[in-house]
Amino acid sequence: MLLQGKTAVISGAASKRGIGRATAELFVEHGARVAILDIDGHAAEEAAAELPKVPHGDHVGIRCDVADRDSCISAADVVAKAFGRIDSLINNAGITQPIKTLDISEADWNRIISVNMTGILFLSQAFIPNMRDNGGGSIACISSVSAQRGGGIFGGPHYSAAKAGVLGLAKAMAREFGPAGIRVNSVTPGLIQTDITGGKLTPEMRADIIKGIPLDRLGDARDVANIYLFLASDLSAYVTGAVIDVNGGMLIH
C-alpha cells in the first residue's frame, strides 16, 4: 500500500484501455483517493464511480480540457474543495496525429502542442499552489520515446516536438519547485498497447517493432502505471528532474 491515505489527480484517465485509467486503478489498489480528469466529463465520472472505494472519501471524475487554462483552474478548485491536500499530479493526457512534416497545418501544430505540452504547464500551474501550501508533492509528466528518437509510428513531428518540450518543462519545474518539496519527473514510454496504438497495428507491423525491443514484447498500460506509482510514492523521495524510460530496451544501442 504505497499511497495509503494519499490523494492523486490523473489527467486523461477516462479511456478504458488507456494508461491513465490503469494508473487510477493501480493507485486505488495502493490506497489512494483519486480525481480523474478528462476531456470527456461523462466518461470521467463513470470511471471514478467504477473504482473500488477507499476509506478517506469518494473518488471524483471531472471534465477538464488540459489545453484550456480556465478549465484546469476550475478542475483544481473542485478537487481542492473535495480533497483538501493534493499529494500527486499525473500529467498523462495526450493526443497523437500520424502525419508528415510538410502536411502539418498551423491548426494541427497548435492542437498537438497545446494538448501534449501546454496542457502540462496549465495543469501544473493549477495544482502547484495547493502542493506548495501543503509542504510538497509529486508531479509526473508524460513524454514519449518519440521525443528521444524523433518520431514514431503514431505521432507526427509536432508530437515529437511537444513531447521533447515536456522534458525541458519538467526539468525547469523540478529546479524551481524542489525547494518547496515538489518533485517533477518525466516518463518516456515506448510502444504501449492502448487505444492510441493497439487497434492500429497489423501483425506484420507488430512483429517488425518487436524485433527492435530486447524485452521481446510491446508494453501495456500497467508497465507505465507502475512507474507513475513509483514517482507518486515516497520510494522516489530523492528523485526529481529525472526522465524514466519504459520501453523494453528499445533505445539500447
Residues with a catalytic annotation lie at 159
The residue range among 34-42, 100-108, 178-186, 208-216 that interacts with ligand NAP, by the rule CB under 6 A, is 34-42
Closest to 174 in 3D by CA, of 164, 187, 183 = 183
Among 133, 176, 195, 208, binds ligand NAP (CB under 6 A): 195
Q: Residue 222: CA atoms inside 13 Å, Cβ hemisphere, count?
A: 3
Minimum Å gap between C-beta 181 and ligand NAP is 26
Residues 212, 166, 138, CA angle at the centre, nearest 5°?
Answer: 105
Residues 6+ apart with CB under 8 A from 125: 69, 72
C-alpha cell at 131: 502542493
Minimum Å gap between C-beta 100 and ligand NAP is 19
Q: Which is nearer to ligand NAP, 47 or 86 (CB)?
A: 47
**Residue whose C-beta lies closest to ligand NAP:** 94
Task: With CB under 6 A as the rule, give the number of residues binding ligand NAP.
Answer: 28
What gap in Å lies between CA 136 and CA 113, rounded to an integer?
28
Q: Which is nearer to ligand NAP, 180 or 201 (CB)?
A: 201
Give the count of beta carbons closer than 10 Å to the beta carbon of residue 98. Answer: 12
Q: Which is nearer to ligand NAP, 17 or 56 (CB)?
A: 17
Minimum Å gap between C-beta 246 and ligand NAP is 8
185 binds ligand NAP (CB under 6 A): no
Q: What is the largest CA-CA distance in the chain?
A: 53
Q: Which amino acid is at 178?
A: G
Among 197, 233, 236, 240, binds ligand NAP (CB under 6 A): 197
What gap in Å lies between CA 92 and CA 189, rounded to an integer?
11
Q: Which is nearer to ligand NAP, 29 or 40 (CB)?
A: 40
- Binding map of ligand NAP across residues 84-123, x = CB under 6 A, - = no contact: --------xxxx-------------------x--------
227 binds ligand NAP (CB under 6 A): no
Closest to 119 in 3D by CA, of 4, 12, 1 = 12
11 binds ligand NAP (CB under 6 A): yes
Q: Are 244 and 227 in contact (CB under 8 A)?
A: yes
What gap in Å lies between CA 230 and CA 24, rounded to an integer?
13
Place of cell 528499445: 250
Among 18, 61, 137, 165, binds ligand NAP (CB under 6 A): 18
Strand order in the sheet with 243-246: 60-63, 33-38, 7-11, 88-91, 137-142, 182-189, 243-246
Where does this chain bind ligand NAP (CB under 6 A)? 11-12, 14-15, 18-20, 38-40, 64-67, 92-95, 115, 142, 144, 189, 191-192, 194-197
